[in-house]
Amino acid sequence: MKDDTIDAELRRSYLFADLSDEQLGRVKGGMTVVRLSEGQRLFDHGQEAKRFFLVREGQIKLYRLSADGAEKVIEIVQPGESFAEAIMFMERRVYPVSADALEAAEMLAFDSKSYQELLRESVDTCFRLMGAMSMRLRTILNEINAITLQNATFRLIHFILGQLPDGKEEAPSVELGAPKNIIASRLSIQPETLSRILHNLSKKGVISVQGKTIHIHDRPYLESYLR
């Protein structure tokens, strides 16, 4: 991996964006590459958390299993996103979820202890990270609000619009990326409910669905629903 390429990737993450060149070099010194095949486990719920991760390719599913073995998807981590970093600030440092690769994936793994030591040495770095984490927390709280306080149609539309690429295409498309049952679990709705909502929106001409691709024909309608 070329240094300039890795530096650019890391700088796009809030965890590394404000580090000095010297600090970033130290982070890279303890960095390892982790590759998983589809369905392969990264870590288990309750396992000691010594590392956090940044996804380069593929998707990672974070989930919990209920007492009866039912799976609840907590998050689907996309390329460019990090996960498990908050655990380094917890008193009990174990992974609160399990993580599997939804598809072949490549990640950068970082030693939590080394990153903590870097923060202890610089109050300014700590405050910059706290500010970035606060913004990230606000986004997460908005997502929780959409999932827990709104109906199933609102949740799905919120999710679809959240997957839109940048730009102002007249008829943008969204690649779901994950199986519909995984997305349904992530949104806390039943798979058959998700299918019914997609069917109803298609019947109205708002969207059309081809496999995992959703073509949006009436974006203003979707946006007005969220309002």
158 and 141: one domain? no
Determine how many CB atoms are found less than 10 A away from the CB of residue 3: 10
Residue type, 43: F
The total of structural domains in the chain comes to: 2
User: What pTM, to 2 d.p., does this model score?
Assistant: 0.74
pLDDT in tens, the chain (227 residues): 566 688 999 999 999 998 999 999 999 998 999 999 999 999 999 999 999 999 999 999 999 988 888 899 999 999 999 999 989 988 889 999 999 999 999 999 999 999 999 999 988 888 888 888 887 777 767 766 666 657 889 989 988 988 887 655 566 888 887 888 999 988 888 899 999 999 999 999 999 999 889 999 999 999 998 87
H helix and E strand count, the chain: 8, 11
H-run or E-run covering 199:
helix 191-203
Q: What is the CATH number of the domain that holds 172?
A: 1.10.10.10
Return the half-sphere exposure (C-beta side, CA atoms, 13 A cut-off) of residue 220. Answer: 1
Q: What is the CATH number of the domain that holds 71?
A: 2.60.120.10
Q: Which domain range does residue 220 map to?
A: 151-226
Residue 160 corresponds to which tokens in the numbers above? Answer: 């679809």
Q: Which of 107, 124, 148 is the endpoint of a domain? A: 148
86 and 22: one domain? yes
What is the distance between the alpha carbons of residues 178 and 174, in angstroms, rounded to a whole number? Answer: 12
List strands edge to edge, sheet with 98-101: 41-43, 98-101, 60-65, 71-77
